[in-house]
């Protein structure tokens, strides 16, 4: 029987320098060599507040990222990554072992719904270098929790490779923006966490995203709490 054709994928992302939510599914798909067409939209702060210019035809939620699967929108980075994993089971984007998979889902969900202290005080900004900035009691607590997650996943499930669950998975795509934050704000990491951060930074897809982000020139005030005035 001929294999069913895979649906056409278009991934709509925001500014690569700033959009940590967009980075997750883009890195996942690119690293897994899942073909997609990229549409990049830019953040717009004219008129106050932050919006994504031109998003209306793509997403009912009016946020990036959004994945169009044969034209049908799937929005929110977690739903997008789940959809990519479901469409491409042979890519094994979640760990095969059920216990590891349950933890992988948990650490993704935890990252997705939490870490507001770190998000607020240490926004993703690939171009910038703000060593020591963004340390608040809440962000310190979030940083400590990230280190705990990385260390525990590596120790329990990481035997088969350099990533949280051994080989590259959705969990690594979810924590890739955090790796970049730790570099921007020069967070010192214990050896196992530092080794993991280096492995993520060296992923071809992460390098490609970060290089593109650093070449961008738009300045988004909402994401620049430490810019020199
Ligand atoms: N939970 C969503 C969050 C998406 C999100 O907040 N995206 C931001 C940019 S990184 C956005 O589009 N903001 C524009 C707006 O709020 O109008 C996800 O995981 O995709």
What secondary structure does DSSP assign to 148-198, as a single string? HHHHHHHHHH-TTSSBTTBS--HHHHHHHHHHHHHHHTT----HHHHHHHH
pLDDT at residue 36 tops 90: yes
Least confident of 42-51, 82-91, 185-194: 42-51
> With a 6 A CB cut-off, is 77 part of the ligand 1 pocket?
yes
Ligand 1 atom nearest the C-alpha of 19 is 10
How many A from CA of 21 to the centre of ligand 1?
7
Q: In what order do the strands lie in the sheet with 72-75?
A: 37-40, 9-13, 66-69, 72-75
Looking at residue 228, its pLDDT comes to: 81
> With a 6 A CB cut-off, is 30 part of the ligand 1 pocket?
no
Write the burial class of residue 3 (CB in 10 Å: 0-12 exposed, 13-18 middle, 19+ buried).
exposed
Ligand 1 atom nearest the C-alpha of 55 is 12
Looking at residue 167, its pLDDT comes to: 98
Ligand 1 atom nearest the C-alpha of 76 is 20
> With a 6 A CB cut-off, is 110 part of the ligand 1 pocket?
no
> With a 6 A CB cut-off, is 10 part of the ligand 1 pocket?
no
Question: How far is 226 from 215, CA to CA, in rounded Å?
Answer: 19
> With a 6 A CB cut-off, is 177 part of the ligand 1 pocket?
no
Q: How confident is the model at residue 47 (pLDDT cuts 50, 70, 90)?
A: confident
Instruction: Please choose from 14, 60, 63 the residue to mutate so as to test ligand 1's pocket, defined by most ligand atoms within 8 A of CB.
Output: 63
> With a 6 A CB cut-off, is 62 part of the ligand 1 pocket?
yes
> With a 6 A CB cut-off, is 117 part of the ligand 1 pocket?
no
Ligand 1 atom nearest the C-alpha of 64 is 12
Q: How confident is the model at residue 229 (pLDDT cuts 50, 70, 90)?
A: low
Query: Which residue's C-alpha comes closest to atom 15 of ligand 1?
Result: 51
Looking at residue 2, its pLDDT comes to: 63
Kindly report the average pLDDT of the chain as a whole number. 97
Q: Give the mean model confidence (pLDDT) for residues 121-150.
A: 98
pLDDT at residue 82 tops 70: yes
Q: Is the pTM of this model over 0.95?
A: yes
Q: Give the mean model confidence (pLDDT) for residues 152-178.
A: 98
- Dihedral, CA of residue 217, residue 222, residue 227 and residue 228, to nearest 10: 110
Looking at residue 219, its pLDDT comes to: 96
């Amino acid at each position: 029987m001929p294999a069913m054709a895979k649906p056409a994928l278009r991934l709509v992302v925001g500014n690569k320098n700033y959009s940590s939510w967009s980075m997750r599914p883009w890195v996942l798909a690119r690293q897994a060599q899942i073909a997609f067409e990229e549409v990049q939209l830019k953040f717009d702060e004219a008129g106050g507040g932050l919006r994504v210019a031109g998003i209306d035809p793509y997403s009912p939620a009016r946020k990036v990222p959004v994945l169009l699967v044969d034209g049908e929108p799937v929005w929110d980075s977690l739903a997008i990554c789940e959809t990519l994993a479901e469409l491409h089971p042979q890519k094994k984007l979640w760990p095969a072992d059920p216990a590891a998979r349950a933890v992988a889902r948990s650490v993704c969900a935890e990252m997705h719904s939490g870490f507001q202290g770190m998000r607020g005080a240490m926004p993703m900004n690939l171009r910038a270098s703000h060593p020591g900035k963004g340390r608040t009691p809440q962000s310190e607590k979030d940083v400590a929790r990230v280190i705990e997650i990385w260390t525990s996943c590596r120790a329990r499930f990481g035997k088969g490779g350099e990533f949280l669950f051994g080989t590259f998975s959705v969990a690594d795509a979810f924590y890739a923006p955090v790796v970049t934050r730790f570099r921007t704000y020069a967070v010192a990491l214990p050896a196992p966490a530092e080794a993991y951060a280096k492995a993520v930074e060296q992923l071809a897809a992460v390098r490609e995203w970060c290089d593109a982000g650093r070449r961008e020139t738009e300045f988004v005030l909402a994401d620049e709490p430490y810019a020199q005035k």
